[in-house]
Every structure is written in structure tokens, then in C-alpha cells.
Amino acid sequence: MNPSLRVLLVAACAAALTACSNPAAPPAGTDAPRASDTPMSYPSSRTVEHTDTYHGEAVADPYRWLEDIDSADTLAWIEAQNQVTSAHLEAIAGRDRLNARLTALWNYERFGVPERRGERYFYTWNDGLANQPRLMVQDGLDGEPRVLLDPNALSEDGTVALSGAEVSRDGRYLAWGTSSGGSDWQEYRIRDIDSGEDLPDLVRWVKFSQPVWAADGSGFWYGRYDAPEGENALKAVNKFQKLYFHRLGTAQDEDVLVYERQDQPDWGFAPTRSDDGRFLVISVWRGTEERNLVLVKPLDRPDAPVVELVGEFEHAYDFVGNDGDTLFFRTDRDAARQRLVAVELARPQPEHWRELVAESDATLRAVSRVGDRFVAQYLRDAASEVRLFGLDGSAAGAVALPGLGSAGGFPRATEGSETFFAFTSFSQPGAIHRLDVATGEVTPFRAPELAFDPADYETRQEFFQSKDGTRVPMFVVSRRDLPAGPRPTFLYGYGGFNIPLTPAFTPYTLAWLEMGGVYVSVNLRGGGEYGRDWHEAGIKRNRQNVFDDMAAAAEHLIAEGVTAPEHLVIHGRSNGGLLAAAVAMQRPELFAASVPGVGVLDMLRFREFTIGWAWESDYGSVLDADEYRALRAYSPLHNLREGVDYPAFLITTGDHDDRVYPAHSFKFAAALQAVAPPRPALIRIDVRAGHGAGKPTDKQIAEWTDILAFAAHHTGLDLPAAPVPE
């Protein structure tokens, strides 16, 4: 499956940095608060008599009513919960100054990776505090950039985001998509790039798909679902995606159906056009599993049928490009860490494949063709390496990267030898570089001006043993002048869906480090750091390995004196929200606080909402008796106990999240409050917000002000007592 599509289904400085805490001060003491200063009084969450039966076991669901997110009762509950949460957060001393500091740290330029179409370059740009990045265009490398599209003008509150932008090969037209309030649903329009005017075309009900232009610019292919009927579009289960072709200047109801499978409700279709315009290569995905089919439609005549190239969901195949009738694929067939192969259409059987780039001891995460080179992106112990190969697979050298971090981009281009990539690390905001694949030369293209010195911060990679002896890596980040001793520590993880956690800069991480905290990112099983075997060691009935890895990470940090339980907060988002909740519940003695964001928290009903069914490839299904028992054993909603000193909880979600339906967080918050834990059990519900993509800058700053203030308060980290000098 296309990695960007997989991410869609599942679940990345104006002021000088001055330490917010005295570098000579002693480490936070062991008397940091482990309970709220005052007893909490929560809104009433009524219960209903509702029971479901799974494989002979009756399971109560007393908060089922909260699944109706638009009912008057639920809306009143949301308002009441937000009032309680706001009162707790607003009482934290220094929160206003933290907000000001975060605003200053967020105020730096951010650039997207450019793509070239004709003689024009297209990329996104945020000047610092704009709610949404603008799409820029410039003529030639040295041309003056101009704004092609400004999403900030689409809504007063910044909640309409640019969800996709694809330029036709000749650089004449832009297909641009928007999402509203954080929803995954997209609408696409067409802009004439020369005039800046939009055509009348409107394409709706697009989800988990990006447009793919025809070589002649006459239109584009895209995937869509039927419009939901009789149910909230944010809740309706998404089935039966269809692949269409939209011709410019026509109404959507005239779009040509290219492919569908009425017998396969779970199949989705991700098209890619070959650079020579001869083929449409269709990746058929089924949920988030790392296996796909490959279909090919010749484009030399309109009535050419779609033919099957790979017909079984056994392995992963990512189309890289072609040379005539030979197609190039990155695949994990016979290579758990991936390899690059050439497949002749006349002889597509695996015994006839030619191996171009063999599997290595690093994990091959992406390959793109640029001119007469393949650009191969690898991960070695969760950090980027980039290598070049000839079209025959011969080694052509490595790309020099600025340090230990993450490189991404390298858009394909069969003409010329130019491509671009972004590089970032925990202390280095994203900078854009130009790569000449013919010479290997890397030159700067765009980079933000820094008002701090990245050398003031250090990143070290450590390895620890999990419960079963597995060696697991983590990155530990701190100020270089940080005093020794247990420090308030922000522990972050994900551990799922073959998605790796790699070094990346964020303003909120820097704010935490400034104040004297330690930031830790853990590379758990279930992720994509070490290939297929590492991923499969953390899925379905192996899911407990992920939680054990995270608990072992906490134990390692405590044993090494980096932190102590009273100074440790655990955080994750989406699948990581499940992680933050489950580990804090299984091992409450290890943590002072837990912040599960937009989490999958009801493991028995996730398949009932939107695209949740697609996650069964990672989580398993309640329809299978053994997998049900594994899900039931760790589901956060179903494993709360009275009388347990749980960490302080700040649950975060968006009221328009149609990726992980917000009822997960609503029901878990109500159930957690019902067991009356001694420390706060709060939920922060963002309105006009979704899963996270496209969230306006001001909403991000507000959310992270609350998260960091809560984490600092409950781990003993001092917030700024006075304004930080700029």
C-alpha cells in the first residue's frame, strides 16, 4: 500500500531560546504532586442498560448513548466536561506565559518539498503563525514565489484546510482538495494556474484518495465512496470505494467508472500513472494491512480492460516507475526489509522477476525514480539513510545528510536529475534541500532562520530490553546543560501500522526541553522501524508486546536515573492514544500522568465507525474468538478498576474526528471518572476539530499549551515564572 494512504487510514522561532528554569537548580524533588490539589467534581454521565454478547460473554456498554455525538444530551455533556477541564488547566500557574512562549516558538517559516511541473516549482509555505500553509508557485529555481492558493481565506477560523494538491504534468491546472473541521472527507476543485481562476468542476465524497492526472491534462482519476445516507457522515462506515475518471469541464455525475468490486466491500483503489503515460497502475488495498494487489490498465485506448498483475493479498508492492513494458516495484516478497524488483508485463510471474536492489540490514522505506537513478530511502535504527542506484540496480553512492534525523520527499521525475527533500531532527526544524542525483550534490533550497542554537540540545540513542528480552531503541533528548538527576520526562510512542517514529522537530518539544524537561521517543514493536517482522511482532494477539515495550522503556529511564515515576508522563496519539491509556492502566505505578490523544479506546466497537474496520489487520477482530479475548484483555474502556491510583489523565479529542470516532474518548472519560480515581480524570474536546490533519495553528498552540501545562503540573516541572526574554 502507498505509505501516505496508510497514514491516512490509521492513523509529523522568532525568539532566542533562554532556559525557562535555572540550569543550576536541583532536579525536581520526589515530593512533586501525585494527586489533584483539590478533589475533582465531574459532570454527571448517565448510564443505560445495554449489553453486547461476544463469544458467549456479556459485556455491558453503559455509555452507548455517547456514540450519538450530535444529540442534545451529548452536546451538553461535552460543554460541561470542557468547563471542568478548563477550570483545572486555567488554575495552573504560568500557563499564560507558556502559551506566549509556544506562540513565539511556533513563529518560524515552514516549507513543503517542491515538485517541478514544466518550468514551475510548487511547494507549501507558512510564514509562521498562519493557520494554514499557503501553496506557492515560482518560475524557475530563482524565480519570485507567489501565492497560488491561500486556504486561510476559505474560513474565518482556519478550520478549512488544504487536504491535497496535484498539478497536471504540463503545469497548467491544479486539482486542490479541502477538508472542513478536520474531517477526512474531501472536496476537489480545479484551478487554472495562469489565471488563478477556478473552473466550475466540483468533485465530492473523496476519501483516502488523491487525484492522479492523465498525461494530457484532460482529467484525473480518483477514489470515492457513495454519499452517506441516513446517518451522520462523520460516523457512517466507509465501504465499497470506487475508482472514477473525471474529465475537466464536466459534472461529477458524468464521471466514468473505471473500476469497482461489488463483491469486495473492503477494497480500496490507489491509482498511479506511469511517467510515460502508458499505464495506470492500481494498488488495491484492504484496510491497513501490509499486503495489496496490483492491477494494470493500459492507457493506449479507452476501452482497454483492467488486468491483474498480482492477484493475492500476500505481500506489499509499491509501484516505482517503468521502462517500457518493465515495471519497477518495491516489495517485501522474499525480503522482510524490502527490496526493489523489475517485473516484465509479458512474464509477470515471480520466477521471472529481476532483483535490482537486494534486501539489506537497513529497512527500505521508499524508492523513487529521478532521471536515470533510483533514490532509495532507508531507516537504520529509526534514522534516515539515502542511497542512489542506477536503473540496472548498480550502486551509485550515498546522499550526504546533515546529521542524525529524518529525510523525506524525493519526488519522482523521469526527466533531468533534480529532486528535493526535507531534513529534520529533534533540534533542527525542517529545511529543504535540492539533490542532483547525477553528481550526488546537495544544496540548500529553503530553510527557516533559527533564533536558537541546535547545539544547545543533545540527542542520544539508547537501547533497552523489553519484558521478553527484545532489544528496543529510544531517542532521549535534553538540554546539554541539564543538571543530573531524575527530571520531568515526556515519554512518547506509537507502535503500530508499520509506521516508524523518526527524529522530528516540533515547537512543543522544544518548549518542554527549554523548561528543563527530558523528551523521549520510543521505537516500539508494531512500527515500521525494522521491517515486516518487527511490525508483525506487535499486531493482533501480539499487541501486548507493544505495551510491554513501553513499560520497559519507562522502567529503563527510571533505573538509569533519567526520571522517576512521579516525574513521568506518557503520551501518544491515535493508535498511540491507545498505547498511552493501556500502559498507564496496566502499570499505573510508573507514571504521574497520561495524555491519550484521539485514541482508539473501545477495542470492541472500533469496527463500527467510519474506517475503523480497516484496523482489524493490526488489532484483530471481535468476530474471531481468540482475537476477541486479546482485545478484551487490554481495551482501555473495559479494564478500568475501582480503587486504583491511576495517573492523572488528560484525554484529548476533536468533536469532528471521523478517523477515530470521538465516542472512543467520550465513553472512556465517563467510565474513568465513574471509578473515582484520586487524581484528575479530564477530557479536552476541541470543537470544529478532527483527528489532527489540517488543524489550524492557533488550535495547535492552544492544545499544546494545555497538554504541556497539565504534564508539567503533574510531574513537578516549573512553568515560566516570568516572561521569557526574546
pLDDT in tens, 394-433: 999 999 999 999 999 999 998 899 999 999 999 999 999 9
The pLDDT of residue 180 is 87
Q: How confident is the model at residue 11 (pLDDT cuts 50, 70, 90)?
A: very low
Cβ-based neighbours of 28, under 8 Å, separated by 6 or more: 486, 487, 488, 567, 715, 716, 717
* The pLDDT value given to residue 589: 98
Catalytic residue among 183, 574, 617, 635: 574
Query: What is the pLDDT, as a whole number, of residue 450?
Result: 86
Q: How confident is the model at residue 658 (pLDDT cuts 50, 70, 90)?
A: confident
pLDDT in the model for residue 83: 97
Average pLDDT over residues 569-573: 98
Task: Using the CB atoms, write b or e for 421-448: b if 16+ within 10 Å.
Answer: bbbbbbbbbbbbbbbbbeeeebeebbeb
> With pLDDT > 70 as the criterion, what percentage of the chain qualifies?
93
Helix or strand run (H / E) with residue 65: none
Q: Note the pLDDT tens digit of each residue in 534-552.
A: 999 999 999 999 999 999 9
Spatial contact of 657 and 691, defined as CB atoms under 8 Å apart? yes
Alpha carbons 530 and 336: distance in angstroms, whole number: 9
Q: What is the residue-wise DSSP string for 594-619? A: EEEES----TTTGGGSTTGGGGHHHH
Within a 13 Å sphere around the CA of 215, how many CA atoms are in the beta-carbon half?
11
| pLDDT at residue 509, as a whole number | 97
Q: Does domain 79-104+452-715 have CATH number 3.40.50.1820?
A: yes
- Tell me if 314 sits within 8 A of 291, measured CB to CB: yes
pLDDT at residue 451 in the model? 82
Helix count and strand count (H, E) for the chain: 11, 39
Residue that has been written with the C-alpha cell 468533485 in this structure: 203
> Would you tell me how many other CB atoms lie within 10 Å of the CB of residue 226?
12
pLDDT in tens, 494-535: 999 999 999 999 999 999 999 999 999 999 999 999 999 999
Indicate the residue type of 562. Answer: V
Evaluate whether 563 touches 557 at the Cβ level (below 8 Å): yes
Contact residues for 615 (Cβ-Cβ < 8 A; gap 6+): 9, 10, 287, 288, 497, 600, 606, 607
User: In this model, does residue 26 exceed pLDDT 80?
Assistant: no
Tens of pLDDT along 283-329? Answer: 999 989 999 999 999 999 888 999 999 999 999 999 999 999 999 99
Task: Give the Cα separation of 387 and 370 in Å (integer).
Answer: 12
Residue with cell 488563478: 196
For the record, the C-alpha cell of 396 comes out as: 551509485
Find the radius of gyration of the CA atoms of the chain: 25
* pLDDT band at residue 692 using 50, 70 and 90 as cut-offs: low
Question: What rounded mean pLDDT belongs to the chain?
Answer: 92
Confirm whether 691 is a catalytic residue.
yes
The answer to whether residue 574 is catalytic is: yes
Distance CA 406, CA 590 (A): 30
Question: Strand, coil or helix: what is 504?
Answer: coil
DSSP 8-state secondary structure symbol assigned to residue 152: G
Rounded mean pLDDT of 182-201? 94
74-100 tens-digit pLDDT:
999 999 999 999 999 999 999 999 999
**Residue linked to cell 506487535:** 538
What pLDDT shows up at residue 689?
Answer: 67
Model confidence at 698, in pLDDT bands (50, 70, 90)? very high
Q: Is the pLDDT of residue 14 over 50?
A: no
- Which is catalytic among the residues 88, 656, 664, 691? 691
Q: What is the pLDDT of residue 264?
A: 96
- DSSP classification of residue 175: E
Quick check: 565 pLDDT over 90?
Answer: yes
- What band does 181 get if pLDDT is binned at 50, 70 and 90? confident
Enumerate residues 6+ apart whose C-beta is below 8 A from 317.
283, 292, 294, 310, 329, 330, 331, 333
The angle at the Cα of 695, spanning 691 to 697, to the nearest 5 degrees, equals: 150
Q: Which residue has the higher pLDDT, 102 or 158?
A: 102
- pLDDT tens-digit readout, 346-380: 999 999 999 999 999 999 999 999 999 999 999 99
Which pLDDT band holds residue 29 (cuts at 50, 70, 90)? very low
pLDDT tens column, 594-634: 999 999 999 999 999 988 999 999 999 999 999 999 999 99
- For residue 38, the model assigns a pLDDT of 63
Burial call 86-95: b when 16+ CB within 10 Å, e when fewer: eebbeebebb
CA 236 to chain centre: 22
pLDDT band with cut points at 50, 70 and 90 for residue 657? confident
* Type of residue at 608: E
State residue 153 phi and psi, 5-degree precision. Answer: -85, -5
